[in-house]
Amino acid sequence: MNATAFMFLHILAFQCPQCEKPVVESVLSPMRSLEPVDSTELIVSCPCGWSDGRLGAQARRHLVLPWSAPHESVPPDQEESSGEEDREEDTLNTL
């Protein structure tokens, strides 16, 4: 597998200020680190009609998962997201 082709899926869960339901956005990045995604501005839209720009850092939850092409396998050291740079693990279902 080409190491430069490996990506990480950042899943960000925001809370709609209008209806208070979760609004989920995703970002594909070559970096596992949260910082580049936290500083990215996303246009967040809720089915209730609300939409606005939000920084990734404003998400209530931030989950990072390894993401590879279907023909590539995930390197053993990247199978699970862990470590100090992970602010949240699999907690999106706790909203």
The pTM is what?
0.69
Pairwise CA distance, residues 27 & 44, whole Å:
12
Q: In the chain, what are the domain boundaries?
A: 3-84
pLDDT digits (tens, 9 = 90+) for 21-48: 999 999 999 999 999 999 999 999 999 9
pLDDT digits (tens, 9 = 90+) for 58-89: 999 999 999 987 766 655 554 444 333 444 44
Of the two residues 7 and 90, the one the predictor is more confident about is 7
Pairwise CA distance, residues 27 & 39, whole Å:
12
